[in-house]
Amino acid sequence: MKFTHSTISDADVRKISELNNPYVEQVLEEYINMCAPDRVIVVSDSREDITMVREMAQKNGEESKLAIEGHTVHFDGIYDLARDTTNTRILVTPDMKKMSKVIRTIDKREGLEEVFGIMKGIMKGKTALVRFFCLGPINSRFSLPSLQITDSTYVAHSEDLLYRSGYEEFRRLKGSKNFFYFVHSAGELDERGSSRNTAKRRMYIDVAEGRVFTMNNQYAGNSLGLKKLALRLAIYKANNEDWLAEHMFVMGVRPEGKNRTTYFTGAYPSACGKTSTAMVPGQLILGDDIAYLRRGKGGEVRAVNVEQGIFGIIEDVNPVDDPVIYTTLTTPRELIFSNVLIKEKKPYWLGMGMELPKEGFNYSGDWKEGDTDKEGNPILPAHKNARYTVRISELENADPKLHEPEGVEVRAVIYGGRDSDTSVPVYEAFEWTHGVFMGASVESETTAATIGKAGVRTFNPMANIDFLVVPLGKYIENHLKFGKSLKEQPRVYATNYFLKEEGKFLNEKVDKKVWLLWMEGRVHGEYGAIETPIGFIPKFEDVRDLFQKVFNREYSRELYDRLFSIRIDKFLEKLDRIEGEYSGEADLPAEFTGCMKKIRQNLLDARGKYGKDVVSPGEFV
């Protein structure tokens, strides 16, 4: 193993050679020589090595200490504040099956030539960190070892919070090539330490060879190879095997007064309530973002959290709506804030429940109220996609089964989105195929979590549209096959927290706890339901009693009717949009298209029977 431009200690060379893995050595030699850092540091699982990374991030200015012990802040560049979907491409070869129209691709030969040109010498003057992680619990059949090369100590420190150290996992490979690898560089930095060449920001994903090249960026959604970039690699692998890799939380629901924990997974597009659902007070969180699902020995579904931490949107986290997260963010522990406002070493963010300072330091630099960007748009005190990064173990509601090698049994799946005028707050699928259809029909209004215009309704099947790397027909077929292979299929639900009338939300933010407890009760046969054209909805009496029990709040029949009326015209409009999205897609399963036709006919029959476009729930009884 020869690094032509870099200095590496004998101790670090030994760390690599002790893995006895020629493929690891080949990867390191090829890309370190290509990127040409001045120095290479190999990081093992030891506490000393991991502490060194955190200290390096502070010494080189990628992070700064804040007033509370253990808290630091990082700023991405003003033009590097969200996932860049335009420049994230899947490398494809002529023999690969035609990808769906929603998947951005580039010819593999062309893409590699371009990105290798960008990578050549990109780390000159810098230190490259070689990292080993494990996607999933240690020593588990679910998990995938992952190798990272990065010149960002912020990225490396974030990954220490988010992922399990995996140096020992690579020892267990015994020379196998069965691992993912990632090469990242922030590129040339400006005077603020931000990526300068964002016009050459590239995230190129080679699914066939299990590798990612991500250049000229710092925002974690683009730079942390193990996050959404690795999710794409896992989706490709899962869909060519017999399991699921999904953009899902994993949580344990614990109804008060009942000695049980029922595990749910849930898929929500960014900024649609995913983390806040997983963090509903009184419940257990096992993961908030990515899950691997496999069959258990008894034919049940089991899930693990790929990560051990949270990279969460911080906007609107406040002591009333999110007490557990808010307490975590305001007490001593190892924690990274990004793109918030800093005043006198204290962090501030949008919607935190207090008045924000009129000046300070933020993602744009020195800031004061009234500042604008070069397009003349107001610069907010903190970015709407500002984040926090923390280990799940730091949360008081962390599930003790977080690191269980066999994961947890999943009894229900939730799909949610942002919908102001169509869907009810919660409903249950008729059966598994209908549940897959519900997931494949998710729509959401865009937010600041992705680059582009906010407020546009978008199609987002399984909340996974940005991460799909196989044709939609194959992806849906894999879900259907997975369900058929199970001895007991989970129930499937859809939620919508965003119904509005006259521009005002009909739900309160905390109401999701009631919908969650209703779903959990349905799993155990404790609540009945009303059958409607779209699925099963709650009965008024059950919802009323839950609101009284959970919040000591009166819940009126009038509000129930407004929330749970079936808006036939709106659902038919949605079906038209969904059919349009799937038009031209090859190899759609007949079960899926049949389900779509069945739901449409249900709605048309209801319109004919009731003679109107909006039918209240009581009329279906």
| Tens digit of each residue's pLDDT (9 = 90 or more) over 452-472 | 555 577 899 999 988 999 999
Q: Return the DSSP state at 398.
A: B
Mean pLDDT, all residues of the chain: 94
Q: Is the pLDDT of residue 450 over 60?
A: no
Q: What is the DSSP string of 138-206?
A: TT-TT-EEEEEEES-HHHHHHHHHHSEE-HHHHHHHTT----EEEEEE--SB-TTS-BS-GGG-EEEEE
Residue 326 — φ and ψ, nearest 5°? -60, -45
**What value does the mean pLDDT take over residues 79-96?**
93
Q: Is the pLDDT of residue 402 over 70?
A: yes
Third-level CATH fold of 312-394? Phosphoenolpyruvate Carboxykinase; domain 2 (2.170.8)
Domain 245-308+402-620 part of CATH 3.90.228.20:
yes
Q: Which CATH class is domain 10-60+83-241?
A: alpha beta
Q: Which of 27-36, 82-91, 352-361, 443-452 has the lowest mean pLDDT?
A: 443-452
Position 6 scores a pLDDT of: 84
**What value does the mean pLDDT take over residues 165-194?**
95
Tell me the percentage of the chain whose pLDDT exceeds 90: 88
Position 458 scores a pLDDT of: 87
Position 276 scores a pLDDT of: 81
469 with 90: CB under 8 angstroms?
yes
Query: What strands lie across the sheet with 309-313, from one edge to the other?
Result: 64-65, 71-74, 335-338, 387-391, 309-313
The domains of the chain are located at 10-60+83-241, 245-308+402-620, 312-394
pLDDT tens digits for range 503-539: 899 999 889 999 999 999 999 999 999 999 999 999 9
User: Is the pTM here over 0.75, yes or no?
Assistant: yes
Residue positions annotated with a catalytic role = 272
329 with 335: CB under 8 angstroms?
yes
Q: Which of 110-114, 117-121, 271-275, 556-560 has the lowest mean pLDDT?
A: 271-275
